[in-house]
Amino acid sequence: MDEATFKRLYQLCYGSDLSEEAIENVLSKELAEEFRKKKKKYDDHGLLAYLSDKNKPKMNKSFLKNVIRQNEASRRIEVKKEVDKTIQRIKSYEERPSSHSKSIKERKQHDSQTRETSKRKWNLWDQKN
């Protein structure tokens, strides 16, 4: 129960002419309301809901910053290695002659020869007709 609620209940109980039954009703309503709030907080935060703000564990920010910094550094190193491997792979592909490039050249030559042959045949046929 927070301090403001406690003071209000204290004044209500000792500063008024209420019967004990009325005081018990007020107290039970306040406790039920506090229970509902704590239960909702517990559902959201677990056991930390029941700790006061003074007793809650503090986040170790310097530790987290160091962990993040180390992760970023190691990730940069990994990315650099991957980039270097990719560059080496590309260079090795460029340096060696591939059979694929030969087949492309051969196809182009064959296509040009076929076109020339077709043109000759067409011209011969055209001359006959």
44 within some domain: yes
111 within some domain: no
- Check whether residue 34 and residue 69 sit in a common domain: no
- Check whether residue 46 and residue 13 sit in a common domain: yes
CA-CA distance, 36 to 53, in Å (whole number)? 19
- Check whether residue 11 and residue 45 sit in a common domain: yes
39 within some domain: yes
Q: Which of 60, 6, 61 is nearest to 30 (CA)?
A: 6
- Check whether residue 20 and residue 45 sit in a common domain: yes
Residues of the chain with pLDDT under 50: none
Say what the pLDDT of residue 1 is.
60
- In this structure, the number of other CB atoms found within 10 A of the CB of residue 12 comes to 15
pLDDT over 70, % of the chain: 75
Say what the pLDDT of residue 106 is.
77
**Domain residues for 87?**
58-98
Question: What is the number of domains present in the chain?
Answer: 2
Say what the pLDDT of residue 69 is.
92
- Check whether residue 41 and residue 16 sit in a common domain: yes
Say what the pLDDT of residue 71 is.
92
- Check whether residue 16 and residue 32 sit in a common domain: yes
92 within some domain: yes
pLDDT tens, residue by residue, 29-64: 888 888 898 888 888 877 776 676 666 667 788 998
Amino acid in position 38: K
